[in-house]
Amino acid sequence: MNQQPFIFAHRGASGTHPENTMAAFRAAADKGAQGIELDVQMTRDGELVVIHDETVNRTTNGSGAIERMTAAEVAALDAGSWFSPSFAGDPVPTLEDVFTWAAGNDLQINVELKTNKVPYHGIEKKVLDVIEHFDMRGRVVLSSFNFDSIKRVIELDPYIAVAGLIWKIRRDALLKAKDLGLTALHVQTSFALSDYGKEAVDSGMLLRLYTINDMREWQRVTASGLPVEAIITDYPERFVTVSSD
């Protein structure tokens, strides 16, 4: 029997909807995900916008680096058409847009701080302020590949849930996570099933896996006996168990 994991929809239900749009987040909830993952970047004038890349080129009809665009310029873009004409006109949401919607449900929200390529001075405080404003502290986990960014979050708010993101198999990142006293890591299956996965768990860390889209991959993980707290997937519907009663 397959163990059903706690499911975060990666960039929303991004397998079937344009990533990091309200349509993708609503679909995630409709499909039975218990959480959503989203990416935050910051405009020139300090708006927190939900988009994966440092530029708008791939996922909108515009071009340019977000750090050099204003909030109004980003808001005017179409973030749906690149995926499908049926999503034409869907905008890039702000973090506030997502939280305003999430205030009406009980989803967990994994906010990834995209500070690994652009430093976005002050983004950690701004994100924490939005979380506080919406009274969402208990429903949010902040993650980043940039451990300096996570360190700043901890310094600003020692009690907010944070997680270190690790790309592939990186012992140095695991050591940094231990140094910071992190209690959660978001890792790939290759890391989880390596000796470092067990080392992380033995050190008291929760593991969440990204990006798991294939049930067979999840079965490999469950068969290993490694405790995994959650998965982050583009296709939440593939992992939701339909109750038979």
Question: Which residues would be at the binding site for ligand G3P (CB under 6 A)?
Answer: 10, 37, 39, 52, 112, 143, 165, 186, 210-211, 232
Rounded Cα distance between 69 and 46, Å, is 10
User: Is 10 in the active site?
Assistant: yes
Among 17, 52, 133, 186, the active-site one is 52
CB 116 → Ca ion: shortest distance, Å?
10
Total residues contacting Ca ion by CB under 5 A comes to 2
Q: Closest residue (Cβ) to Ca ion?
A: 112
Phi, psi dihedrals of residue 118, rounded to the nearest 5°: -115, 130
Rounded Cα distance between 224 and 186, Å, is 18
Report the residue number, 127 or 133, with the smaller CB distance to ligand G3P: 127
Report the residue number, 39 or 124, with the smaller CB distance to Ca ion: 39
**By the rule CB under 5 A, 112 interacts with Ca ion:** yes
Phi, psi dihedrals of residue 233, rounded to the nearest 5°: -135, 150
Report the residue number, 139 or 186, with the smaller CB distance to ligand G3P: 186
**By the rule CB under 5 A, 39 interacts with Ca ion:** yes
**By the rule CB under 5 A, 234 interacts with Ca ion:** no
Report the residue number, 213 or 222, with the smaller CB distance to ligand G3P: 213
User: Is 133 in the active site?
Assistant: no
Query: Which residues are the active-site residues?
Result: 10, 52
